[in-house]
């Protein structure tokens, strides 16, 4: 009898394995709507990548400080990405459980009463509201609102963008029935309802992180009413009942759940398993950020760091920087054209050649310091007028020094964000580093040396998209907790600080910090001059 029971149990377990392996494998898609592209990644329920698409669109920068996107281009790119991934994937033996979003923060689209766009999407990188951000800083209202919203006063925030629209584009402002972000617009097109998750709402500067609702004072400052904003929902909220023609274009069942998800910064932490106390995520892509998760809203008395919602009892505190990999691109295109041409002739990546050159220069670039503020700056100085500077330049410095100093300047700036963060949440226990920079061994080591911390590089592919997928899995009941992300994320490299290098950086970082403060009075002067002469500048370029 026992032998028969053992045989039947073995057969039953084998049957379960076959069904699991060949009949009902479960999948989820993470969609990361970024500044210049939408990345679509298909994962199985083990977090393994089964399909990928990266679909580009234009960032319009027609005038000084402008940074806009066409919402229809983004919507089309998302549909194409989903269709491409699903066409390539073999789901005959599995089920697509759902699709979950990550989205860039701080975008604003004005919609009329028929839900038609009156503007393009005004992105986080748009600085045209700088005048109104400055006013809020000077009159103290900005700090009052920061203490309730967790969003530092800066032209990136939809609050200041709406103030700019009200004053500079009154004809559009008067026609606007709804103020939404790109994710809300996409979901309206797909499902016919306007909903906004707490995480994206949190980043508008209009949302009170203690009441979990739109803030009356912020609305009054912006000059709008609550009924001009979408209804608020948690980040696990699910849409169902997609418009059939869009479902056909994508190639899915219209009842496939779409999880509303969160904003890209918090989901980047989730996607690299930086959600335990004291685990810091450092990201350098086009821009960059330093972030850590806390279990409650946390405010900096000096207003240097943000506080954004991820999920219940998970708040992401940190600081974003404008100037990450985009600075390296500028170095490649403007300072190192000969090396760029050489790399093309040799059929190698120009960035690899430049980092090889920089690696031959000692840590600290022989006293050459670069303040990387090529596009203003957010954390920790929150000054849209900040401008870049090489300091300490001598006849002995070479182009190699200038390359290395630029890379070091990016890391110095991230370190100053970490210093501000330490005052608010305490010392870091470990660092998880991600972004395009992570493929460079030089840059990874530089991060370990400047921060004087072990730096781990997770092997997770497209961490923000994975974060969206994991949040989707949690909403869909595929995992029990967001902490299960640890099962999907590994470590490929760990870099330890080099004592010789960090001794040099210990001397130079204080000089960098003093420079960023001492030059502040002149940032506004030079930025004003550049804006006044922008038309002449553009004519010369053309």
Tens digits of residue pLDDT in 140-156: 999 999 999 999 999 99
Confidence bin at 13 (pLDDT 50/70/90): very low
Confidence bin at 492 (pLDDT 50/70/90): confident
What pLDDT is stored for residue 384 in this prediction?
93
Neighbours of 113 (CB within 10 A): 9
Q: In the structure encoding, which two tokens stand for residue 364, read together? A: 């600290």
Round to whole Å and give the CA distance between 519 and 113: 46
353: left (phi > 0), else alpha (psi -120 to 50), else beta?
alpha
The mean per-residue pLDDT over the stretch 428-442 comes to: 88
Round to whole Å and give the CA distance between 236 and 262: 9
Judge whether 321 and 377 are in contact, CB under 8 Å. yes
**Where do the structural domains in the chain lie, given as residue ranges?**
25-256, 273-533
Among 541, 298, 318, 278, smallest CA distance to 430 is for: 278
- Condensed to tens digits (0 to 9), the pLDDT of residues 97-140 reads 999 999 999 999 999 999 999 999 999 999 999 999 999 999 99
What pLDDT is stored for residue 294 in this prediction?
96
What pLDDT is stored for residue 163 in this prediction?
98
Among the ranges given (11-15, 55-59, 437-441, 499-503), the one the predictor scored with the smallest mean pLDDT: 11-15
Round to whole Å and give the CA distance between 360 and 404: 9
The mean per-residue pLDDT over the stretch 290-303 comes to: 96
Judge whether 473 and 41 are in contact, CB under 8 Å. no
Round to whole Å and give the CA distance between 531 and 195: 38
- Condensed to tens digits (0 to 9), the pLDDT of residues 312-339 reads 999 999 999 999 999 999 999 999 999 9
- What's the CATH superfamily of 25-256? ATPase, nucleotide binding domain (3.30.420.40)
Vertex 450, ends 446 and 453: CA angle to 5°? 95
Among 500, 489, 380, 403, smallest CA distance to 448 is for: 500
Round to whole Å and give the CA distance between 325 and 10: 55
Neighbours of 496 (CB within 10 A): 12
- What's the CATH superfamily of 273-533? ATPase, nucleotide binding domain (3.30.420.40)
Judge whether 35 and 23 are in contact, CB under 8 Å. no
In the chain, the percentage of residues whose pLDDT exceeds 70 is: 94
What pLDDT is stored for residue 15 in this prediction?
37
What pLDDT is stored for residue 7 in this prediction?
40
Q: Check for a shared fold between 25-256 and 273-533.
A: yes
Q: Concatenated DSSP letters for 116-175?
A: -BSS-EE-TT--TTHHHHHHHHHHSHHHHHHHHH---SSTTSHHHHHHHHHHH-HHHHHH
Instruction: Determine the straight-line distance between the first and last CA of the chain, rounded to whole angstroms.
Output: 89
Among 101, 73, 70, 307, smallest CA distance to 196 is for: 101
Confidence bin at 535 (pLDDT 50/70/90): low
- The model's pTM is 0.90
Q: Which residues touch 444 (CB under 8 Å, ≥6 apart)?
A: 433, 437, 438, 455, 457, 493, 495
Round to whole Å and give the CA distance between 3 and 260: 51
What are the two backbone dihedrals, phi and then psi, of residue 466, each rounded to the nearest 5 degrees?
Answer: -65, -40
């Amino acid at each position: 009898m026992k032998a028969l029971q053992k045989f039947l149990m073995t057969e039953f377990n084998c049957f379960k394995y076959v069904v699991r392996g060949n009949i009902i494998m479960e999948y989820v898609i993470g969609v990361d709507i970024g500044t210049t592209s939408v990345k679509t990644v298909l994962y199985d329920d083990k977090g393994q990548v089964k399909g990928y698409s990266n679909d580009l669109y234009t960032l319009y920068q027609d005038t000084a400080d402008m940074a806009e996107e066409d919402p229809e281009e983004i919507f089309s790119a998302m549909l194409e990405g989903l269709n491409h991934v699903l066409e390539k994937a073999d789901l005959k033996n599995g089920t697509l459980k759902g699709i979950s979003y990550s989205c860039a923060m701080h975008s604003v689209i004005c919609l009329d009463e028929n839900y038609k766009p009156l503007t393009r999407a005004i992105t986080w990188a748009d600085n045209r509201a700088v005048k109104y951000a400055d006013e809020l800083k000077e009159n103290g209202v900005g700090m009052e609102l920061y203490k309730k919203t967790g969003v530092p006063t800066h032209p990136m925030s939809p609050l200041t963008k709406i103030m700019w629209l009200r004053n500079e584009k009154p004809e559009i402002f008067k026609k606007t029935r709804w103020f939404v972000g790109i994710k809300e617009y996409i979901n309206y097109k797909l499902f016919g309802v306007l909903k906004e998750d707490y995480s994206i709402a949190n980043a508008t500067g209009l949302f009170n992180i203690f009441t979990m609702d739109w803030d009356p004072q912020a609305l009054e400052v912006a000059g709008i009413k609550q009924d001009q904003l979408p209804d608020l929902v948690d980040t696990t909220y699910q849409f169902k009942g997609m418009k059939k023609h869009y479902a056909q274009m994508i190639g899915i069942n219209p009842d496939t759940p779409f999880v509303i998800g969160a904003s890209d910064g918090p989901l980047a932490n989730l996607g690299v398993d930086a959600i335990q106390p004291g685990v810091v995520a450092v990201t350098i892509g086009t821009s960059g950020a330093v972030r850590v998760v806390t279990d409650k809203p946390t405010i900096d008395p000096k207003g240097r760091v943000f506080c954004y919602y991820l999920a219940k009892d998970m708040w992401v505190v940190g600081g974003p920087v404008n100037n990450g990999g985009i600075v390296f691109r500028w170095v490649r295109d403007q300072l190192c054209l000969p090396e760029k041409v050489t790399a093309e002739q040799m059929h190698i990546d120009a960035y690899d050649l430049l980092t090889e050159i920089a690696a031959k220069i000692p840590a600290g670039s022989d006293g050459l310091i670069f303040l990387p503020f090529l596009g203003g700056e957010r954390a920790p100085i929150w000054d849209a007028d900040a401008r870049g500077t090489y300091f300490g330049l001598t006849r002995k410095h070479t182009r190699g020094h200038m390359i290395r100093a630029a890379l070091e300047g990016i890391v110095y700036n991230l370190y100053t964000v970490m210093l501000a963060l330490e005052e608010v949440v305490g010392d870091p226990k470990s660092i998880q580093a991600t972004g395009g920079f992570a493929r460079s061994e030089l840059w990874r080591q530089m991060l370990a040396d400047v921060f004087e911390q072990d730096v781990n590089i997770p092997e997770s592919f497209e961490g923000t998209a994975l974060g969206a997928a994991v949040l989707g899995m949690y909403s869909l009941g595929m995992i029990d907790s967001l902490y299960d992300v640890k099962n999907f994320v590994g470590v490929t490299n760990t870099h330890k600080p080099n004592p010789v290098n960090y001794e040099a950086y210990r001397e130079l970082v204080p000089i960098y910090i003093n420079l960023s403060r001492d030059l502040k009075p002149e940032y506004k002067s030079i930025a004003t001059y550049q804006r006044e002469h922008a038309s002449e500048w553009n004519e010369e370029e053309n």
